[in-house]
């Protein structure tokens, strides 16, 4: 797909995450990412003293992409809810 089409899809997907603030990164290959630096769900879960709630929202992300974004494979190695300094939403285009 052309870069403009990929970027448009990525912006559309990440716009659904009203709870998160981050940066979009589009590589020259078939991978792209959304690096989240702030997440309201994670922050509120910590404030409530229920950090496991934040992790549940992260698990829901995995289910969402598996079910509703058939054009991409979603993977992530770190999350704010797990104590990391960012969430790395990584995607690869399905062939």
Q: pTM higher than 0.85 for the full model?
A: no
What does the block give as tokens for 72?
Answer: 């991409």
Separation CA 93–CA 80 (nearest Å): 25
CA angle (91 as vertex; 50, 68 as ends), nearest 5:
70
Nearest to 86 by CA among 42, 28, 53, 46: 42
Element (H, E) at 32: strand 31-39
Start-to-end CA distance of the chain, whole Å, equals 11
pLDDT in tens, 6-60: 788 788 878 878 888 888 888 767 888 889 999 999 999 999 999 999 999 999 9
Please report the DSSP string for 39-70 in residue order: EHHHHHHHHTT-HHHHHHHHHHHHHHHHHH-T
């Amino acid at each position: 797909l052309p870069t403009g089409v990929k970027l448009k899809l990525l912006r559309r997907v990440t716009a659904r995450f009203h709870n998160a603030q981050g940066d979009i990164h589009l590589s020259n290959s078939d991978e792209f990412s959304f690096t989240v630096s702030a997440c309201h769900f994670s922050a509120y879960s910590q404030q409530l003293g229920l950090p496991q709630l934040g992790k549940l929202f992260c698990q829901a992300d995995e289910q969402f992409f598996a079910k509703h974004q058939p054009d991409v494979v979603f993977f992530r190695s770190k999350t704010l809810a797990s104590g990391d300094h960012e969430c790395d939403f990584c995607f690869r285009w399905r062939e």
